Structure 1
Amino acid sequence: MKLKSLTVLLIEDDQIEVMKLKRSIKQLGHTHKVVEAKNGEDALQQLTSGNVLPDIILLDLNMPKINGIEFLKILKEDAKLRYIPTVILTTSENRTDLLACYEVGIAGYILKPLKYEDYLKKIDCTLQYWSVNELISN
């Protein structure tokens, strides 16, 4: 089965994490396009600029300016953007964060594992899942 190639908006302020995701996608042999945003403010500018919308958003919670939960609330209030599946990719094991994210309406919550092999498996599963999902086209 051929997987659909996704446009992934990665909202992450740590450049090492950005490189890790890109390296993982390449290593896994996926053809997904990664668009970067350094924080929620930057992401909102990209999303409202009228360019092509991503198929999925991978969102870190702990960021400067607008944190992940604040970003989610703004995203879900927008009639056009609210339908983009948003998956949290974070180190936060805080149950309050987890509940707040699901309350706002996320598509998933993934903890970044310490071992790269475990990270690779989680990214592979996540992207394969969304590659076979019926997504709302722009």
Structure 2
Amino acid sequence: MASKTMRSMRTPLARVRGLGSAKEGFHHWWMQRLTAIALVPLALWFVVSVAGMAGMDHAAAVTWIGSPAVTVLLVLLIAATFWHAQLGVQVVIEDYVHGEGCKLVALIAVKFAAVLLAVAGIVAVLRVSFGG
């Protein structure tokens, strides 16, 4: 009974402490914007590059990927894409999944999937680039 009385006497600020902060939401929003800004030139570069590769054989494509600048840009494109996608799906889950258990499982699954797929893509680019 005493703990219930103590809880009811707490101020509204004390009741919400530990439930998240405005800084966390702002960071998430800011990261979404930064990854979106990064993806604009990276995606444009990638689309133009792939369009220019029409008729290119496998050896020429491997040589293209092996170029240091191309390798770096592909790695950045993959990292930014999966980070941005994970942030966006996280917002959808937080807004539309109401069960706390399901929400937690879904958020963890999305984060793991994003990391796994990003690492797989980056490793693939590096293997082609370095001839592994």
- Give the TM-score range, shorter chain: 0.3 to 0.5
Which structure is higher in strand share?
Answer: 1
Which structure is higher in helix share?
Answer: 2
* Structure 2 length-normalised TM: 0.33
Larger Rg: 2
* Structure 1 length-normalised TM: 0.31
Which structure exhibits the higher relative contact order, with contacts defined as CA atoms closer than 8 Å and separated by 6 or more residues? 2
